[in-house]
Structure 1
Amino acid sequence: MAINQYDGYAQSTPSRQRQPMTNGVGESEIQVLCGPLINLQHMNYTGRTPTWHGTVLVVTKPIGTTPHLHYGPAESRGESNTVEGLKLYEDPDKAFWRFSLEVPLSETQAQWTYHIPSVRFLSDVNQKECTRSFFVPGAADSMRIMFHSCNGFSVGTDEDFWSGPALWNDVLRTHEQRPFHVMIGGGDQIYNDGVRVKGPLRQWTDISNPHKRRQYPFDNKLRSDCDQFYYENYVRWYSTEPFAAANASIPQVNIWDDHDIVDGFGSYRDKFMKCAVFRGIGGVSFKYYCLFQHHTAPPVSTFTTDAPQTMSATGQGTAGADPRQTENTYVYKRTADDPSWIVGKTPGPYVEERSRSLYMRLGKRIAFCGIDARTERTRHQVNYPETYELIFGRLEREIAEANGDISHLILLLGVPIAYPRLAWLENIFTSPIMGPLRFLNKRFGVAGGLFNQFDGEIDLLDDLDDHYTARQHKTERRELMLRLQRFSQQHSIRVTILGGDVHLAAVGRFYSNAAHDTPAEHDPRYMANIISSAITNKPPPKAVANLLARRNKIHHLRDGNTDETLLDMFNEQPGGQMKGAANNKATMPSRNYACITEIPEYGSQTETNPHMNGYSHQSSAGNTVPVQMGDTGEEGKQRPTHDSKKGRHPLHEGEVNAGTNHVAADGVSSQGTLKGGLNVSIRVEIDNRSRNGETAGYGLASKL
């Protein structure tokens, strides 16, 4: 045994794994198991030259040398930069290497290339030293954004019938037409649900008695088996084309959701969520979420019931070291958290780690914030109150330091926040009338397909409990929206919300109610919720989408000032394929993803954006008056009647002709009259039997 000392933890490592292979000319050959994967980490606008910071990750067989990566402008004849790999993690089977890239922004968009010499890709033995490329925006431009969610298949789905991840072909075609600078993953970038069906938790989920399932131990053997499952599932999925090609050429920014762990994680009953198995897979999934999706080092150990030091998190969120887990293993000791992270103060209730929300610039005028709404989630909360304080505190500081450059905030939530209510369905599922059926299910397995294999509740209940519109989340939802409204008003910044999870496409909007007579272009309450889901998983049945459309009423936020509803934007069926009812123009049950492109202000993206000192609107007398926002938090008894069409029909010129006839529908256009706003295209799959992934586009513009 050779003892190797690193910058992080020192562990004993077998000498045999240090023997490198050669390529026949004396150089060490790097056997790549997965990757490369490219991420956007952050952007720096404080210096004289704005700078893009990103990382490239590869997973290799253990090697005896440190790999290098070369990168430079695509138009240059030779590579101009060389960086050493930073080892994040290594065990006898694999090593994770991160390469940090720093790219100065030039006056216009630029293409950069990178490659790692002396590599052999084990997924394709004929592929060696392939050069990849990516694009960065001009110094005065904002990024072109691709948004997706639910990138995997639920258990039992016929993946061949749905042509696998076919829509990624369309993503790459759109990227070739006009490059994306960033790819935002809204959660469920991978589906790990198979861990309970064909993986090491099968024996546990087969236990019929819920009490015995709660008491089941999660020892080191089960942890190791789950660790292997999660790792292999990541390698399989992240090496699957054409998703793998997108991973290598469009920098990613991700937050996680339940399927990145297991279906419904966080939304089952508290006493069941606290069981050892859930806490155990929470730790294992977090480990590989850190490595594959964020290119950062994982905790040194994760939860097991036979190592007491791992069973309770420290103030930093990392469990105590377990010698069995660190044997023959190296974990990089982080010296600082990623600058894009907003780290929660205390660990989650079921994951022994602190939440990691995100903040970064997406070019000159767009700020991005992604809320980690899974680490702290329970059936009765989405995030701790102190986490919201951290997030809004970070936003306030960043806006102040940007000196007026930021005009748009894109907020990422894993689950839509402007969405039809299904309270009546919740009431049925939780009512006493379900008691006899629940009893028969527990005793005799009656209606087995209706109940989940975890806590014995109705299977759809965890999905309903996940929604911000669920009754237990309504107060938290209202407070979040009121705070966003105040932030928008105080800083004259438009807020656009991204959400996924629900496996269909839609656009919800919040806006001031009729009593305010406020045009949307001057309304700080106007916020569009772009709902894009799923890019890979199958959509819900037509009947579900049509039901949601029928439930698309004009809802009143309990502040007395704000209404919300979905926009009628699906003016026709994609490619003539009937995805929903002819009269359903609000929800689209077909696989999809979204493209977001800034509309240049005054015809040039380099011109200064003249900011208003707060929002205002024209009164009926023609005078400009400031918009006043109430902070009561409760709606009044006398609500003015509202035009039944307003809200479903266009609220401003960017929503006029929303759908296939809108200029934004093609997914690449930056044309439009809403200078400084955002063109949004939802690209909807036409035929799931086609592996080419052809789509039809539906467009609108989000007003600045």
Structure 2
Amino acid sequence: MTESVPVREDPSGVTGVGQGPQVVSTSEGVDVIGGPLLNYRRTSNQQTGQPIWHGSVLIVTTPGQQNPQLVLSPAGAVDQSAGHVRFSVEARTFHGEKLYEDRKRAFWRFIVEAPFQQFESRWNYNIDGLVYVDRKKHDKPQNFVIPAASQSMRIMFHSCNGFSVGTDVDAWSGPALWNDVLRMHEQKPFHVMIGGGDQIYNDGVRVDGPLKEWTAIHNPHKRRDYPFGEKMRADCDEYYFNNYVKWYGQRPFSTANGQIPQVNIWDDHDIIDGFGSYTDHFMKCAVFRGIGGVAHKYYLLFQHHLAPPKSTYTTDAPVTTNVGEKGTTPADPVQLDNTFVMTDDIGDPSYLLGHKPGPYVEERSRSIYCQLGARIAFAGIDARTERTRHQINYPETYKLLFDRLDKEYTANPDLKHLILLLGVPIAYPRLIWLENILQSPLIAPIKFLNKRFGFAGGFFNQFDGKVDLLDDLDDHYTARQHKAERRELIQLLQNFSKKFSARVTILGGDVHLGAVGRFYSNPKHQIPAEQDWRYIPNIISSAITNKPPPQAVANLLARRNKIHHLDHDTDETLLEIFDTDPGFNSKNERVATGLNNQMNGTAPSPTEKIEKKTSDKNHATMPSRNYAIITESALPPTNTLSAPGPQPGQAPSVNGSTVSTPPSKKDNPRHPIHVGEQGAGTSHPAASGLTPTGLCGPYGLDVALRVEISNSDREGRTDGYGFSIPGLVVNEALRDQGSRW
């Protein structure tokens, strides 16, 4: 079908569809509604060998702005004592590109780049004439930090950055942990901030938003058949936009957004709770298809700084209901009335686009690959766009990812570590026994009473009438229907790790508690961790804002922390890293030092209520808000591009003659199985998140889980729990032997 909408050249130099609102701002400045938001995209190398940092900055303005400009200027070395702080570049001006504009707002993107220096460098950026529409906010130049060319990036990882419907936000002090993130960033800057999903919670759309009336329909069949017309689409569009502006503009989160470059994937709450994991016939209803399109639109704009599709699904425009194999929603003239959408956005090489649209979000998935400095690569799998109750990703998407990894690691032998981001944990206790109970005939009488009289209303979800907890369980990799897909993914990662002698570390969020899972070779193989390509830790950090589950749930999960067998050669279990609760010492005595009282400022008041969060037997799961800090175990020498050597006092590791003793069949693998896990917890050298330990060699990682002490502390002070991950050098004899296992 030929689109009956005009295509035009925008004054900002981009091609778009739709005429836009045809207004010109008379303001003397750039009237900003939201932002700036800073993203990291990738690293490239010039022919001269100098690496280039690529990123983007997004602002949301009133319509009619004319070609805003951003000035990026060098601000010197982070550590002035390092010397050689003279920059080889001057200030540069970058012109804005209009991604989208309608009657009420416009999205402008600045593609920025800067050369890596021989030292860790700070950069200032300023948007000419920026004036906030909300006059309570004040414009000030922003800054960010790029690592030295010889360094890998210092990483902050978070997930679940919002509140579930019904949470007493004030009782949980709002997004308090972002205060702690900024304190840590001020002491030792983060180079990148990885969002593991649920960067925003849009669930309120069904409680106090445009889906309230639809949600109130008790008959599931009537809800499935309910149309998603233009008015509902426009109302949902307005709701999602306003929710993003409100949440992303709230301090201290907004401060972090402008100073720490982000890389994000999404999860269900970025759309609505449980999206993708309800029954197939319900997920295909018009309302779910509609909000999937609207949420995807603003996910691209706010979280990726990309132009959205020309239109989103609505039952009033049949053309939008037939996406086709290319995964691009056709233009709807009604939606494009007084609207402009960029159409020549070439995206970025860091994105891996799925081959076909998802089943419910009818756009192609958008996974990510980029390099995080000298020796670390990052991959984030879009595990929401293609998700159904029975699959997480298409097989073609996994092939796309591993083909890219093979290409990148073949071309760059300096890459020694892969950080893989998944939306939910993958090394995590099984809950199949709970699934069996919730799906058993025992639940049927309660379900009948719920339908007839509303009995146990909170036990069942508001969408398809199923037990509410089931959509969360179906989301997990450990759910029975995802078992084969989970095993195949881990085996692909193990083969990749063995081929390139590259350690794999997995990040996961979603579950609202902290934990550390690990895959590792069955003790019968007697492979030390430093040579074990099956050793893959899973850092589970969740939530940075949402409230944690009750203590009883965390304790139950800890009791389910069995030793599981992925296959004949691979075991898995959680590491017992939580030697004590935050705010308590190893004797379970209350302490009032917070982060040793030196790192995070004033300690909590002695009268402040701090309760124990876990039972005395639970050292594996922590029901307290948290985030993670990930850095290399050893810093390279300054002012050099060469790989780092062993540091003074560093324990022998992959580059030395000594490695950790492999665990025996009688050992408890919930306890440390290599030198980097020895002493894991509050006393581990990595716990502060500030100083490299040198424990696991130059290619290892230090990890700190920063855990909230008290949710009534509005400063969000934390205690740290640390461990280290060894680099990997596969023993050739083991490699050959392993091929026969």
TM-score range, shorter chain: over 0.9
1:256 to 2:266 alignment: yes
Taking a change above 3 Å as real, the CA distance of residues 609 and 439 of structure 1, as seen in their structure-2 partners, is same
Map of 1:673-684 to 2, 5 A cutoff?
Answer: 673-675=695-697, 676-684=699-707
SS at match of 2:672: coil
Map of 1:78-117 to 2, 5 A cutoff?
Answer: 80-117=91-128
Taking a change above 3 Å as real, the CA distance of residues 121 and 563 of structure 1, as seen in their structure-2 partners, is same
Can you list the C-alpha shifts for 1:624-665, whole angstroms capped at 9, x where unaligned?
9xx9xxxxxxxxxxxx9943x421010100000000011100
Offset, 1:692 = 0.3
1:426 aligned to 402, 410, 435, which one?
A: 435
Offset, 1:121 = 1.3
SS at match of 1:40: strand
- CA separation in 1, counterparts of 2:238 and 2:478? 37
1:356 to 2:366 alignment: yes
Conserved 8 A contact 2:21-2:339:
no
1:207 to 2:214 alignment: no
1:120 aligned to 105, 108, 131, which one?
A: 131
1:652 to 2:674 alignment: yes
2:34 corresponds in structure 1 to: 34
Offset, 1:357 = 0.3
SS at match of 1:380: coil
Can you list the C-alpha shifts for 1:259-287, whole angstroms capped at 9, x where unaligned?
00000000000110010111100000000
Q: Report the residue type matching 1:583 in the other structure.
A: K
Map of 1:137-216 to 2, 5 A cutoff?
Answer: 137-216=147-226
1:566 to 2:588 alignment: no
Percentage of matched positions with identical amino acids: 60
Q: Report the residue type matching 2:642 in the other structure.
A: E
- CA separation in 2, counterparts of 1:14 and 1:469? 49
Conserved 8 A contact 1:682-1:697:
yes
Conserved 8 A contact 1:666-1:699:
yes
2:82 corresponds in structure 1 to: none
- CA separation in 1, counterparts of 2:542 and 2:654? 35
SS at match of 1:545: helix
Taking a change above 3 Å as real, the CA distance of residues 295 and 617 of structure 1, as seen in their structure-2 partners, is closer
1:135 aligned to 130, 145, 149, which one?
A: 145
2:481 aligned to 466, 472, 480, which one?
A: 472
2:599 corresponds in structure 1 to: none
- CA separation in 1, counterparts of 2:345 and 2:715? 45
Q: TM-score scaled to structure 1, two decimals?
A: 0.92
- CA separation in 2, counterparts of 1:602 and 1:99? 32
Q: TM-score scaled to structure 2, two decimals?
A: 0.88
1:405 to 2:440 alignment: no
Conserved 8 A contact 2:151-2:635:
no
Offset, 1:671 = 2.2
Q: Report the residue type matching 1:451 in the other structure.
A: F
2:25 corresponds in structure 1 to: 19
1:594 to 2:603 alignment: no
Can you list the C-alpha shifts for 1:383-413, whole angstroms capped at 9, x where unaligned?
00111010100111111121x1100000000
- CA separation in 1, counterparts of 2:345 and 2:430? 45
1:689 to 2:712 alignment: yes
2:618 corresponds in structure 1 to: 584
1:9 aligned to 16, 35, 54, which one?
A: 16
Conserved 8 A contact 2:268-2:276:
yes
Can you list the C-alpha shifts for 1:224-263, whole angstroms capped at 9, x where unaligned?
0000000000000000000000000000000000000000
Conserved 8 A contact 1:498-1:529:
yes
1:547 to 2:547 alignment: no
Taking a change above 3 Å as real, the CA distance of residues 59 and 602 of structure 1, as seen in their structure-2 partners, is closer
1:509 corresponds in structure 2 to: 518
Q: Report the residue type matching 2:681 in the other structure.
A: G
Offset, 1:443 = 1.5
Can you list the C-alpha shifts for 1:33-72, whole angstroms capped at 9, x where unaligned?
0000000011113532100000000000113411000011
Map of 1:271-420 to 2, 5 A cutoff?
Answer: 271-402=281-412, 404-420=413-429
Map of 1:609-624 to 2, 5 A cutoff?
Answer: none
Offset, 1:117 = 1.6
- CA separation in 1, counterparts of 2:447 and 2:134? 47
- CA separation in 1, counterparts of 2:128 and 2:630? 35
- CA separation in 1, counterparts of 2:544 and 2:335? 36
- CA separation in 1, counterparts of 2:529 and 2:182? 34
Conserved 8 A contact 2:151-2:636:
no
Conserved 8 A contact 2:577-2:681:
yes
Offset, 1:513 = 0.6
1:630 corresponds in structure 2 to: none
- CA separation in 1, counterparts of 2:654 and 2:612? 42
1:607 corresponds in structure 2 to: 642
- CA separation in 2, counterparts of 1:539 and 1:224? 34
Offset, 1:116 = 0.7
2:694 corresponds in structure 1 to: 672
- CA separation in 2, counterparts of 1:699 and 1:641? 24
1:521 corresponds in structure 2 to: 530
SS at match of 1:553: coil
Query: Structure 1, unaligned stretches of length 5 or more?
Result: 23-28, 628-639
Q: Report the residue type matching 1:504 in the other structure.
A: L
Q: Report the residue type matching 2:92 in the other structure.
A: N
SS at match of 2:72: strand
- CA separation in 1, counterparts of 2:490 and 2:46? 30
Taking a change above 3 Å as real, the CA distance of residues 450 and 400 of structure 1, as seen in their structure-2 partners, is same
Q: CA RMSD in A?
A: 2.2
- CA separation in 1, counterparts of 2:433 and 2:190? 41
Conserved 8 A contact 1:312-1:352:
no
Deviates more, 1:411-420 or 1:514-523: 514-523
- CA separation in 2, counterparts of 1:13 and 1:387? 36
SS at match of 1:52: strand
Offset, 1:21 = 1.3
- CA separation in 2, counterparts of 1:411 and 1:356? 15
- CA separation in 2, counterparts of 1:171 and 1:602? 25
Offset, 1:521 = 1.1
Conserved 8 A contact 1:217-1:276:
yes
Conserved 8 A contact 2:7-2:16:
no
1:575 to 2:583 alignment: yes
Runs of 4+ aligned residues of structure 1 deviating over 6 Å after TM superposition are 76-79, 601-605
Q: Report the residue type matching 1:37 in the other structure.
A: L
2:589 corresponds in structure 1 to: none
Q: How many residues align?
A: 671
SS at match of 1:666: coil
Conserved 8 A contact 1:3-1:13:
no
Offset, 1:623 = 13
Conserved 8 A contact 1:70-1:79:
no
